[in-house]
Amino acid sequence: MQQSFESLIDNYLPGQSVDCVIIGYASGELKILLLQWKATKRWSLPGGFILKDEDMDKAALRILKERTTLEFPFIHQFYTFGNYRRRDISNLNKELAAMNINSPKVNEWFRQRFISTGYLAMVNLDKAKPQPDELSIKCDWMPADKLPPLIYDHNDIVAKALEYIKMRVHFLPVGMTLLPEKFTMNELRLLYETILQRSLDRANFQRKMLKLGVLIRLEKHFAGNAHKAPYLYKFDKKMYNAFQKEGIGFV
């Protein structure tokens, strides 16, 4: 571990990092993917460093793949975190020792000030099978409103990402990325209510969504009372992508 860190440090851009907020959705809750470190047992967002010859967006995709083994249909840079005191490194020596690292070079690297670029990723939980990396013991989904205390300013990063989604919900592919391929109108509405944190009028929401022409109506979803079975829908991807650029406005 020590040798691998020392050999890699010279390849990274000093003082710059990437932190990724990966969002899933299930049972009316937004979920955040977190890693639990082997050394400290503390939780964090997936993150890492940028290679000197690497574009930042590509670095984020690489880091996500390395930390979670997942492929992401959507990733977006949403904020830069540069607070001077954003990292508490008072326990750094103990943390490095727990990872069997006692290199002065590595210690100096982690003690420098880091400015982090936040990336937002969204994924369908049915397709996500995250795995911990070599530095982690767990890689789990947790409810966005019930997160444990995270390292550094990672709770603030999550809060900023959720605020960003709420403000930009009309321009982000939330339905396409977070829902299964087939869904009911109620499931689509509940997703938007969860993000916006308020109720939406059922009839008005359905009328406006159908008017946009971004949904394809499929067979009915029979579960329970057949006479009240709702229709299933899927997105017309071409129409959805075209409308998303202008904003999928329904409220």
Tell me the domain boundaries of the chain: 2-167, 171-246
Residue 54: per-residue pLDDT: 96
Question: 2-167 has which CATH code?
Answer: 3.90.79.10
Helix axes 185-196, 154-167, angle to 10 degrees: 120
CATH class given for the domain over 171-246: mainly alpha
- Mean pLDDT over residues 133-158, rounded? 93
- pLDDT reading at 101 higher than 90: no
Q: Give me the pLDDT at residue 49, please.
A: 93
Identify whether the C-beta of residue 85 lies closer than 8 Å to the C-beta of residue 25: no
Identify the sign of the CA torsion 49, 51, 56, 59: negative
Topology alike, domains 2-167 and 171-246 = no
Q: What percent of the chain has pLDDT over 90?
A: 60
- DSSP states of 50-74: EETTS-HHHHHHHHHHHHH----SE
Q: Using N-to-C axis directions, what is the helix angle for 2-9 and 104-111, rounded to 10°?
A: 60
Over residues 144-150, the mean pLDDT reads 96
Residue 225, pLDDT score? 57
Q: Which two tokens stand for residue 227?
A: 């006479």
> What is the reported pLDDT for 6?
78
Per-residue confidence (pLDDT) for residue 73, from 0 to 100: 78
pLDDT at 191 over 90: yes
With cut-offs at 50, 70 and 90, classify the pLDDT of residue 221.
low
**Whole-angstrom Cα distance, residue 170 to residue 174?**
9
CA–CA distance, 127 with 74 (Å, rounded to integer) = 14
| Token pair of 92 as six digits | 């750094």
- Of 12-26, 127-141, 150-164, 217-231, give the lowest mean pLDDT range: 217-231
Q: Tokens at residue 155, please?
A: 């709770």
